[in-house]
Amino acid sequence: MRRRARAVIGVALLVPLVGAAAWDARSAGTLSGARTGLTIIAPASPGGGWDTLARRLQGTMRETGVVTNPQVVNITGAAGTIGLAQLQQMEGRGDVLMVTGTVMVGGVEINDSPVGFDDVTPIARTTDDYEVVVVPADSPLESVDDLVAAWQEDPGAVAVGGGSLGGTDQLLAAQLALEVGVPATEVNYIAYSGGGEAIQALLSGASDVGISGYNEFADQIEAGTLRALAMSAPEPQPEVGIPTLYELGYDVHQGNWRGVLAPPGLTDEERQELTDIVSETLATPEWQQVLETNAWVDAELTGDDFTTFIDEEVARIQAILEEAGL
């Protein structure tokens, strides 16, 4: 794969830097098992989509008693692949889950991660949501057509801010560029470590356009500091009130699924226990309120079906990245 040797060296150098976080994750559980001492790893900075999912799972598990003492640990870096490498090292730990999603699939490819999804244990897909393309309220870009025209004139002149390289945000930018005949490699994409940084870049003028999950921009859209141009959903979302790219005439959509993984080397009983914990959590009325509050779509998928889904996602995103030259 691309840049394999460089990626291996990079992870080897970074693992000691997050050793303390990994130790926290290892020591957070208890000998009585996942029901009393579950650790949920958010492989990103606080405040972003993965961190939000981890903390919503934590809160729901605690509130409903599904898990007595769930804890969240943040391990940041490289589109979640640093956390993925740490998870692999926790072999046999039946009291650890780590949040994953579309961003990590692209991150594994872009970063040539030596650790992939085959090296850990898929547990469940939990939610899906959609991307939104936004601009500052006073931006001269009034529509997606304006953005496309600006790209076609000079794609490098429009700074597009989003999450990790190869993640959902860049995938959407690349697909839209390809749709309108603009080389995706010429799009001036700037990767930020979290939604907070991306918002600040928009408000400060460092970025002209932002792409992220709807929930990360929702407060600013409602407050009127950011203006939404389009969503990446395959169907209209009347409850949100933002037109989809399909509705605007662009054959582009991009979901942003999220789920959880576990370390490798689990027994069948340990894997089933973690799956049961997640399924019980997602079945509660409290979780239904979380879905509504965060504008997430219920996308539960477990067992071999989730493993197959990940394999299909890897193939799909590899194809997009290859076509885009990324």
pLDDT for res 165:
83
Question: What's the predicted TM-score (pTM) here?
Answer: 0.81
pLDDT for res 202:
95
* Cα–Cα distance, 326 to 319 (Å, whole number): 10
Report, in this order, helix, strand and coil percent for the chain, each rounded to 5: 50, 20, 30
**May I ask the CATH architecture of the domain 4-128+256-324?**
3-Layer(aba) Sandwich (3.40)
Token code pair at residue 23:
């130790």
pLDDT for res 19:
42
3-state DSSP call for residue 121? strand
pLDDT for res 194:
67
Token code pair at residue 118:
């085959």
pLDDT for res 133:
97
Domain residue spans in the chain?
A: 4-128+256-324, 131-231
Rg, the chain, Cα only: 19
Where the chain has pLDDT below 50, the residues are 1-32
Write the pLDDT tens digit of every residue in 228-287. Answer: 999 999 888 888 889 999 999 999 999 899 999 999 999 999 999 999 999 999 999 999
User: What fold is seen in the domain 131-231?
Assistant: D-Maltodextrin-Binding Protein; domain 2 (3.40.190)
Same-fold call for 4-128+256-324 versus 131-231: yes
pLDDT for res 226:
97
Strand 71-74 and strand 39-42: the pairing is parallel
